[in-house]
Amino acid sequence: MSSVFFSRLSASGTTSSALAQRLAPPQKKKLSWFVIILIILLFSFIKPTFSLGTVILIGLIVIVPIKIWFTYYNTMIYPKQMNKWRSTWYCATCGAVSVISLD
Ligand SMILES: [Zn+2]
């Protein structure tokens, strides 16, 4: 990486984060236990009268569709995005981002 690259990245906060985001590889979506526990806690906070079973059931109703979407994304969309990312090249000299087909 050249110094030009770094100077461009640090030039402006908004631009650099947008650029860094554009250059970063796509991430697989993962549902963390922290989020699940947070959702369950949120429901038990809103309705303290709910039994633990109800809270868990509501939690599952929220989590299952998210989990299905994440699984769909990881198996169907993520590989395509990763392929596109692999064929995307960033020019540190002029800052151009180009997609080069490797097929
Ligand atoms: Zn260039």
Q: pLDDT tens digits, residue range 61-96?
A: 888 999 999 999 999 999 999 998 888 888 888 988
Residue of 40 and 16 predicted with greater confidence: 40
| Confidence band, pLDDT 50/70/90 cuts, at residue 22 | low
d(CA 26, CA 48): 39
CA 16 to ligand 1 centroid distance, Å: 17
Q: By C-alpha distance, which of 58, 57, 79, 76 is closest to 68?
A: 76
What local confidence, expressed as pLDDT, does residue 73 receive?
Answer: 95
Separation in Å, CA 12 to CA 7, 18, 23, 33, 82: 9, 10, 16, 35, 27
CA geometry: angle at 26 spanning 103 and 36, to 5°?
145
d(CA 48, CA 55): 9
Q: Which residues surround ligand 1, an ion (CB under 5 A)?
A: 91, 93-94, 96
CA 13 to ligand 1 centroid distance, Å: 22
DSSP character at residue 75 = I
d(CA 39, CA 50): 14
